[in-house]
Amino acid sequence: MKVVRPIAAIALAALFFFPVYVVVTGMLKPVKDIQSSPLGLPAPPTGANLDAVLGREDGLYWSALINSVQITVLSVLALTLLSAMLAHYLVRSTARWTRPALLMLLAGLMIPPAVILQPVTQVLGAVGLMNSVVGVVCANVAYYLPFGVFVFSGFIGTVPIEMEEAASIDGASRFRLFWQVVFPTLRPAAASVMIFLGVWVWNDFLTPLIVLGPEAGTTVTVGVYRSVGEYSTNFGTLYAFSFLASLPVLLFFVALQKQFVAGLTTGAVK
Amino acid sequence: MLLSNRQPRKRHSVLVPVREFSGFALPGLFLYGLLVLVPIGWTVVLGFTDRNRFAPDTSWVGLDQFRRLLEDDQFWLVLRNTFVVTAIVVVVPNVLGLAIALLLDRDTLLYRLLRSVFFTPVILSGIVVSVIWQSMLRPDGVLNKVFGDVGWLSDPGIALYSISGILCWQMLGFCVVVYLAGLNGVPKELHEAAIVDGAGWWRRFRSVTWPMIASAVTINTVMLLISGFKVYEHVLVLTNGGPGRNTTASIAFDVIEKGVRGDRIGFAAAEATIMLCIIVALSGLVLRLLQRREVHL
């Protein structure tokens, strides 16, 4: 049994990881090698596929990267602040309507984007935010707000209220009370909110596809989809684009791996 | 002792006046209302009209769209497809995820590394995952070098299961990590006590581990249910609803296709309304059933 466990674990993981291996080796091979020996190592590795994506005439990868970074950073910052403030109010307030409001927000966790997509474009169109990065950010903030509130409200319940009362007696304004007393205690929850939403927003497809439209460019995720037809049989380039589109999120994951798992543990299992 | 025994307090408004706080709640509630609640209401209302982007006026048609929907074979087909995918996605990653979590439940470098291996697809986008698999499942792709000549995405009897399998591949790591966290929360003393009582591996799993990871089961099941039911990107990239007409189309795919085409917005809205009712009812039911068996120490 001592030997069986690691061997079984490694074998299963290797089988599971096979598609990732195909992509990472494939993007370093010339196209004809991908067809003839998909399993072999790239010998010698070529950077031609990566160059083809990075050096596109229309600069699609780079413009998409700028859009993705803007949308992700703005959405995650706005979501963290707004959902922390909202969750704090809903948990601490004694008003009668906060309980149903919290339940209604949490029900939002299960709404499929397909159900609201059409009217969302109408609302954004009416306020002049269609085909803009700001429009995508607004749609993201609204759609993912329930997740932020879910994590923060669970966490705020475990933070003692005495600290806030003390600060209140000392005459701190509501504003100072929140930013200097409450928010710093929410840091672990904020970390998991930012990590999860960062990955989800980066990977989002439908909202940037429809809200940005072809007019305002694409995000990297939409860029991968748009280039499928263009690279139809040129898998090396398609793999390279997929890899470059996922690279920021993979680096993010490697850097924050511990918090990632911790976030899943506290947010989910507790 | 006195301090620790007191009731959790909610009524503390003497010290923290509530009214001044409410400004903090407004921006979030405003956006949620404008871009989630209003759109839901709008979709429901549109379902009772004959709205069509190419016709100048829209009129109220009562339940006509719903009646037409229930008589439409294509609607039942996409609903069936969605249920097939959802059922597979709820069961397979759940069972495999628990098995793999039990296998990886050791805290050494090797097992931590393997955990990341299983988690990687979770952080990739559905589009990237679908693009990768599509290249491997082509008639001349890698998988057919082993399996011969299987129409993974071109055989109407297989394509839906290929899509389900890919979704399972992507969700498995999530289940593994949640189950590992659950296993981590089982107190060692309980296992030791059971061993002293002479319980074997299966008995300990059944009577100690299983009840203690009930909340992990709840989270995974609900998460898988919601993800399976709204499947869209995978269908779009892998098969675009085909081969043939709607053999792999999911309800989300169908609603979006109709909405983008724009010629039957009222009809699509009725379909979206039914979709919303099903997922709310299903997750409510599953949550209630599963939470009943959760134990809290």
Rounded-to-integer distance, Cα A207 and Cα A212, Å: 8
* Range A57-269: architecture per CATH: Orthogonal Bundle (1.10)
DSSP-based three-state secondary structure for B102: helix
Considering only CB atoms, B280 lies closest to which of A90, A110, A203, namely A110
Q: What is the pLDDT of residue A33?
A: 78
Residue B228: inside a domain: yes
Question: At residue A124, does pLDDT exceed 90?
Answer: yes
Q: What is the pLDDT of residue A187?
A: 86
Q: What is the DSSP string of A152-210?
A: HHHHHTTS-THHHHHHHHTT--HHHIIIIIIHHHTHHHHHHHHHHHHHHHHH--HHIII
List C-alpha distances in Å: A128 to A16, A118, A131, A210, B53. 46, 15, 9, 15, 19
pLDDT tens-place values along chain B, 297 residues long: 233 333 444 544 455 554 456 778 889 999 999 999 999 999 999 999 888 888 778 788 888 889 999 999 999 999 999 999 999 999 999 999 999 999 998 888 899 889 989 999 999 999 999 999 998 898 888 888 888 888 888 888 899 999 999 999 999 999 999 999 889 888 888 888 998 988 888 998 998 899 889 989 999 999 999 999 999 999 999 999 888 889 999 999 999 998 888 778 899 999 999 999 999 999 999 988 888 877 665
Provide the shortest C-alpha distance from residue A120 to chain B (in Å). Answer: 6
pLDDT in tens, B70-114: 999 999 999 999 999 999 999 999 999 999 999 998 888 899 889
Question: At residue A215, does pLDDT exceed 90?
Answer: no
Q: What residues in B contact A29, CB-CB < 8 Å? A: none
DSSP-based three-state secondary structure for B49: strand
Question: At residue A50, does pLDDT exceed 60?
Answer: yes
Residue type, B235: V
Sign of CA dihedral A115, A117, A118, A119: positive
CB within 8 Å: A265 and B123: no
Q: What is the pLDDT of residue B295?
A: 67
Nearest CA in chain B to A36: B142
Residue B215: inside a domain: yes
Q: What are phi and psi of B60, to 5 degrees?
A: -75, 125
The stretch A244-252 carries a mean pLDDT of 92
Question: At residue A235, does pLDDT exceed 70?
Answer: yes
Question: At residue A160, does pLDDT exceed 70?
Answer: yes
Residue B242: inside a domain: yes
The stretch A122-129 carries a mean pLDDT of 92
pLDDT more than 70, % of chain A:
96
Residue B262: inside a domain: yes
Q: What residues in A contact B36, CB-CB < 8 Å? A: 108, 111, 116, 142-143, 145
Residue B55: inside a domain: no
Is the Cβ–Cβ distance between B271 and B279 less than 8 Å? no
Q: What is the number of structural domains in chain B?
A: 1
Nearest CA in chain B to A104: B37
Q: What is the pLDDT of residue A69?
A: 95
Q: What residues in A contact B21, CB-CB < 8 Å? A: 88-89, 92-93, 174
Give the pLDDT band (50/70/90) at residue A245.
very high
Residue B4: inside a domain: no
Q: What residues in B contact A221, CB-CB < 8 Å? A: 125, 127-128
Q: What residues in B contact A119, CB-CB < 8 Å? A: 38-40, 42-43, 46
Number of Cβ atoms within 10 Å of the Cβ of B263: 11
Provide the shortest C-alpha distance from residue B193 to chain A (in Å). Answer: 23
Q: What is the pLDDT of residue B3?
A: 33
What CATH number did the domain enclosing B283 receive? 1.10.3720.10
Residue B20: inside a domain: no
CB within 8 Å: B34 and A145: no
pTM: 0.89
DSSP-based three-state secondary structure for B69: helix
CB-based contacts of A143: which residues, under 8 Å, 6+ apart? Answer: A108, A111, A113, A116, A207, B35, B36
Is the Cβ–Cβ distance between A158 and A88 less than 8 Å? no
Rounded-to-integer distance, Cα B219 and Cα B33, Å: 26
What is the location of CATH 1.10.3720.10 in chain A? 57-269
Residue B279: inside a domain: yes
Rounded-to-integer distance, Cα A213 and Cα A131, Å: 6
Considering only CB atoms, A142 lies closest to which of B32, B131, B226, namely B32
pLDDT in tens, B27-37: 999 999 999 99
